[in-house]
Amino acid sequence: MQNKLFQVRNGVFATCLALSLSTLGLSAHWTSLSAPSDLFDFEGIGLVASCLSIITLGIFLSVGIFRKNAIITIIGIELPTLIVLSALFLAEGIILNDTISVNFPLGCNDPFRLSALGMKFCKELISLKGISFAIFAVMTAYWLPLLIMVIIELTQGRNTLTVSVRDVSVPRHTQAQANAFANGFMESAGIKDPSGDSQDDQQHQHQQQQQLQLQQLQLQQLQQQEAMLQQQYSTEQQQAKSEV
Is the pLDDT score of 1 beyond 50? Answer: no
Domain of residue 37 covers 2-191
- Do 30 and 123 lie in one domain? The reply is yes
Mark whether 8 and 102 lie in a shared domain: yes
- Cβ-proximal residues to 186 (8 Å cutoff; 6+ apart), any chain: 140, 141, 144
Which of 57-61, 67-71, 111-115 is predicted most confidently? 57-61
Residues 155 and 49 in one domain: yes
Query: Is 208 in the same domain as 231?
Result: yes
How far, in Å, CA of 45 to CA of 29, rounded? 14
Mean pLDDT of the chain: 79
131 and 243 in a single domain? The answer is no
Is residue 154 located within the same domain as residue 229? no
Most confident of 8-17, 98-107, 119-128, 221-230: 8-17
State whether 200 and 121 are in the same domain.
Answer: no
Q: Report the domain count for the chain.
A: 2
How confident is residue 195, by pLDDT bands cut at 50, 70 and 90?
very low
Residue 54: which H helix or E strand, with range?
A: helix 41-66
Q: Is 6 in the same domain as 102? A: yes
Q: Distance (Å, rounded) from C-alpha 118 to C-alpha 99?
A: 14
Q: pTM of the entire structure?
A: 0.70
Q: Is the distance from CB of 85 to CB of 139 less than 8 angstroms?
A: yes
Q: Which of 156, 171, 191 is the last residue of a domain?
A: 191
Q: 241 with 177, same domain?
A: no
CB-based contacts of 42: which residues, under 8 Å, 6+ apart? 27, 30, 92, 95, 96, 99, 128
Please tell me whether residues 222 and 203 are part of one structural domain.
yes
Same domain for 184 and 222: no
Is 215 found in the same domain as 119?
A: no
